[in-house]
Copies of this chain bind each other. A is one copy, B any other.
Amino acid sequence: MRYAVIGTGIVGRTLAAKLASLGHRVAVGTRDVEQTLARTEPDGYGNPPYALWAAEHPEIELTGFAEAAAGADTVVNASLGSASIGALTAAGAENLAGKVLIDVANPLDFSNGMPPTLDPVNTDSLAESIQRAFPAARVVKTLNTMNCSVMVEPGRLAGPHEVFLCGDDEAAKKETAELLAAFGWPAGSVVDLGDLTAARGTEQLLPLWIRVWGALGTWDFNFHVQRA
């Protein structure tokens, strides 16, 4: 399969590397290839500049948003939530039409300082906003409730935990669930929450996730639904 990963941050890189390791052809999309490669400083979280990372991943191509999406069977949105609609608009509705669009982003709004709030929230979600903006894309929301290291290596945690999935296209959800299985998610750990409005719930987990991160002092965790 050919994947486009929209976003050059740590989440996009981690997913791109995992997809490439599974034998897929992967293009990372960015607004301005030259500008992305010209950066020499770590980002705000201490992650190395893209060019350094790219040197270790020569099999992963860096292209403009539209070129990445046009050449892909499946598109992964790993951009900042506040930038997602703009990035996907630049990718081009015609390059998303009919394709599975896996949205792992969260609508974190840092404009009021820390901790971030959510925008949209409550009666809407980022995933629904994307689906409305690109009605011919087959949006699946998943993986947005955990750190990216856990996304691609669920076995790093000490016991069972789950990844949530929702969307309006059943076949798109099935394809995404198969990809999650390839990432290492065991049978039964992929929880289908139903239609895309469930993204309101998974995106609204973020404020709690941030507080748990603060309480534990690590982001190496995920939520498990403990049953009777």
Known contacts A160-B226, A226-B161; is-contact A211 B201 (Cβ 8 Å): yes
**Closest beta carbon of chain B to A100's beta carbon, Å:** 21
**Are A222 and B216 neighbours in the complex by a CB distance under 8 Å?**
no
Interface set of A (CB-CB < 8 Å, partner B): 112, 115, 117-118, 121-123, 156-161, 164, 166, 191-194, 197-198, 200-202, 204-205, 207-212, 214-216, 218, 220-228
Residues of B within 8 A of A227 (CB): 157-158, 216, 218, 220-221
Q: List 30 A-B contacts (CB under 8 A).
A: A112-B123, A117-B122, A118-B122, A121-B121, A121-B122, A122-B122, A122-B207, A158-B226, A159-B159, A160-B226, A161-B226, A192-B215, A193-B208, A193-B211, A193-B214, A194-B214, A198-B211, A201-B207, A201-B211, A202-B208, A216-B225, A216-B227, A218-B227, A218-B228, A221-B226, A221-B228, A223-B223, A223-B224, A223-B225, A224-B226
